Structure 1
Amino acid sequence: MVVHVFTSSSSGFVTIKKKQQDVVRFLEANKMKSEEVDIMMSEEQRQWMYKNIPPEKGPVQGNPLPPQIFNRDRYCEDYDSFFESKESNTVFSFLGLKSQLASKEEP
């Protein structure tokens, strides 16, 4: 499974850039298969992201801000939820993945 991280290369907000980098670096450091999707480079990808975030998970006003995280078509949620899962050591279940320990133990 590939985790898709929807980012924005042209965000002027430092906090958004740091959050995007945090997610991408964490996935890389843990050797998780991931793909960064720049919503500024593809209107189609941006619209797909907006359409696939459940209404109850989106912001009250405006569009959802990056980073937004998906496991294929399954919405995992945004940075705040990712951060909480990192702090509680539940990132694998947050992403809908088997833990690395479980996959190493399998024959």
Structure 2
Amino acid sequence: MEFFEKLYDEHENVNVRFVGFTTESTRYDFGIVYTNLFFSKPLVICMQTGRSTLLDPKDLEDIEYLQKAFKLDLYEQAADLSEFFREAIPGARFEEQYD
């Protein structure tokens, strides 16, 4: 352990939301961890693939980012996720938290 410099070691009680839903073509199962860490961006985890990313409302405007983050085959799938996460992701962005 002498080779490592600890950057952080935080304990936090967080809210977690588990949600499953379907679109016309795909089933989704996500865990959303609402935390004060990571500039208060929720950690979104695809329960089917284990892929995860931090998301804020600005990230949801970038459909290609969602497609890449969750390795989705179709742009339409990422657009569906963007629409869903707009309701599930809090509205306060990093810049607004420190004004």
TM-score normalised by structure 2 residue count: 0.32
TM-score normalised by structure 1 residue count: 0.31
More strand by share: 2
Q: Structure with the greater relative contact order (CA < 8 A, sep ≥ 6): 1 or 2?
A: 1
Which protein shows a greater Rg? 2
More helix by share: 1
